[in-house]
Amino acid sequence: MPDIHNRKYLEKFRKQNRKNSTSAEATLWHHLKAKKLGWKFRRQHSVGNYILDFYCATERVAVELDGEYHFTEEGRKRDDVRTKYLNGLNIKVLRFENKRVFEDLGGVLGEIRGAFDLPDSDGVGIGPS
């Protein structure tokens, strides 16, 4: 089976996405990079034909931030197909609306941490650092 991670033909798109990240992506990346949650995340990592916003390879967790397009009928259908594909590869997909990153960053980080089945160190959710 050919490698499905970071296929060469998607490289320029991954780079463009990193260079032109949304403000929600930039904000969340600040809290995910450099193992700030304890796990290494990659930004704009591709799996198959899909480019994921953030991906933790060791735990097989994808974090997707959804903007306006994702809430259209077509967007929801595409997201369902994408999620089913990733779930079929045993990749857990977490989805958050862009605005939630700004309105409830601690809750978003807490849910991401929760995907690893570990409690927060103080027993409550993680707050912004």
- Let me know if residue 128 belongs to a domain: no
Per-residue pLDDT tens digits for 13-39: 999 999 999 999 999 999 999 999 999
Cα separation, 6 vs 97, whole angstroms: 25
Q: What's the CATH code of the domain at 54? A: 3.40.960.10
Q: Which tens digit of pLDDT belongs to each residue from 76-92?
A: 999 999 999 999 999 99
Q: In this structure, are strands 50-56 and 42-47 parallel, antiparallel, or unpaired? A: antiparallel
Tell me what pLDDT residue 2 has.
65
Per-residue pLDDT tens over the stretch 35-58: 999 999 999 999 999 999 999 999
Q: Is 52 domain-assigned?
A: yes
In a domain, 124, yes or no: no
Give strand ranges (E) for 11-129.
42-47, 50-56, 61-66, 92-97
What is the amino acid identity at position 59? Answer: E
Domain count across the chain: 1
Q: In what order do the strands lie in the sheet with 42-47?
A: 42-47, 50-56, 61-66, 92-97
Mean of pLDDT over the chain: 89
